[in-house]
Amino acid sequence: MTATPFPVSEIVATRRPHRKDAARNYDALLEAARAAFAEHGADASLEDIARRAGVGIGTLYRNFPTRRDLFETVYADEVNTLCRAAVELADREPWAALTAWLDRFAGYMVTKRAVREALDGESDIFQACRESMYAAGGPLLERAQRAGAARADMDFGDLLRMVAGITATVFDDDAQRDRVLAIAMDGVRAVR
Amino acid sequence: MTATPFPVSEIVATRRPHRKDAARNYDALLEAARAAFAEHGADASLEDIARRAGVGIGTLYRNFPTRRDLFETVYADEVNTLCRAAVELADREPWAALTAWLDRFAGYMVTKRAVREALDGESDIFQACRESMYAAGGPLLERAQRAGAARADMDFGDLLRMVAGITATVFDDDAQRDRVLAIAMDGVRAVR
DNA sequence: ACTGTAGCGGAGGTACCCCTCCGGTTCAAT
DNA sequence: ATTGAACCGGAGGGGTACCTCCGCTACAGT
């Protein structure tokens, strides 16, 4: 509520190296990790990630001594993007802004699910990310609630969980996913 | 729609052995597998399942030559229970019957999620189970729709996916899960 | 009680993954 | 151009999971 939505990445311990080749490897690893987590979930093989990044396994471990470090960094990255998006959406209508943001949120859920699975909530960074995300997205819901567009008897956590759950599911096609999400959002709208 | 909701287990290839000790082992394996899948998801260790069941790994492989066989059997079991429940609920009010069944459905989702992950939809049994479940549960939704309790512009598949997604998510506590599910169900109800 | 057979358990070969360690390489500051 | 510090890759030891195979066990039918 009071926290600024930005400093998440600065909390993360591991930092991007200064040297050119090192920085390139760091980026490649992060990108490969993102893909691997999205594909295989929490227990993607670290060796596979290094392979995909075209980097030795040793390099991976130097940058991210722990599997957790890698997770945290990838996750913090996504959250930052999400926070920035919330700010950019501030000028739209309350309900439109909220749903637009939730759309983005849904896009980043693949990673989040893996992270949640791996970190199991017992991480400082995870906590910081959550706060940061609530600080960024929470106001969107509150605004919609004040405008009478969203029901008042729910909080931002409820909404996030709902959207997260639905988007994490396997659907026949994207149309079905959108349809189901819309139905659920009708429940959020219903102020009667 | 026309299919009877019961024959699922008969489709499954592996069958319960006749001999007393063998049957006991079979049951123990199934129970251990159910627990392991619920706990560790799709990639639970087969050796661990055998250990939990107090049975040699060889016994597991004799009963279920493939990981898939084990999955299918466990899954078919759950589906059968679910189908039976649908019949028992037939005498309640349309909306109440529907939500009550979805409650049971949610309870079995833990296994289903693992199965879905493992089988990836490319299984005959999976297909048969789905049909069986739709045949059993679909009428509950249709009845609610005819009664004007549920919106008409959605089908049973949509509903199942929605509930499945939400219940598969990690919540702070059961109260939150129920709250979120209720919100989403308000979206289903909303006939305006 | 006898006996054939269905069923049992787990050792062991193979494969993969985790993580450490260190000799060689590459950058960037002088 | 030199040089030393930072960085690189991957071999290798330890662990676990998968699955097969076979000598032994215990059930059930006579």
Tell me the mean pLDDT per 10 residues along chain A, length 192: 48 76 96 92 93 97 94 90 92 96 87 74 79 95 96 96 92 94 93 60
Asked if pLDDT for residue B89 goes beyond 90, the answer is yes
Q: Is the CB of A19 under 7 A from strand D?
A: yes
- Contacts for B118 with CB less than 8 Å, ≥ 6 apart: B42, B43, B67, B68, B71
A65 touches strand C (CB under 7 A): yes
- Tell me: the pLDDT tens digits for A88-112? 998 999 999 999 999 999 988 777 7
Which pLDDT does position A135 carry in this prediction?
A: 95
A106 touches B at CB < 8 Å: no
Which positions ≥6 away from A74 have C-beta within 8 Å? A30, A33, A34, A37, A111, A115
Please tell me the predicted confidence (pLDDT) of residue B135. 95
Beta-carbon separation of B151 and A190 below 8 A: no
Selection from B37, B180, B171 nearest residue B110 by Cα: B37
pLDDT 10s digits, B13-53: 568 899 999 999 999 999 999 999 988 888 899 999 999 99
Higher confidence at residue A12 or residue B5? Answer: A12
Sign of dihedral through CA atoms A93, A77, A1, B176? positive
Shortest CA gap A152–chain B (Å): 11
Domains in chain B, please, with CATH? 13-65 (1.10.10.60), 74-192 (1.10.357.10)
Length of chain B: 192
Number of Cβ within a 10 Å radius of residue A147: 12
- Asked if residues B3 and B135 have their Cβ atoms less than 8 Å apart, the reply is yes
Chain centroid, CA B86 distance in Å:
13
Torsion angle in degrees (nearest 10) through CA of B78, B82, B83, B87: 150
- Contact indicator for A102, A136 with CB cutoff of 8 Å: no
Instruction: Between B141 and A127, name the one with better pLDDT.
Output: B141
CA distance A147 to chain B (A): 19
Of A167, A169, A186, the CB nearest to B187: A186
Per residue in B51-75, pLDDT (tens digit) is 999 999 999 999 999 999 998 899 8
B69: CB within 7 A of chain D nucleic strand = no
Scanning B19-173, the segments in alpha helix (DSSP H) are: 20-40, 46-52, 57-63, 67-88, 94-107, 109-119, 124-146, 156-167
> Under an 8 A CB cutoff, do B167 and A167 touch?
no
Per the structure, the residue whose CA is closest to nucleotide C25 at C1' is A21
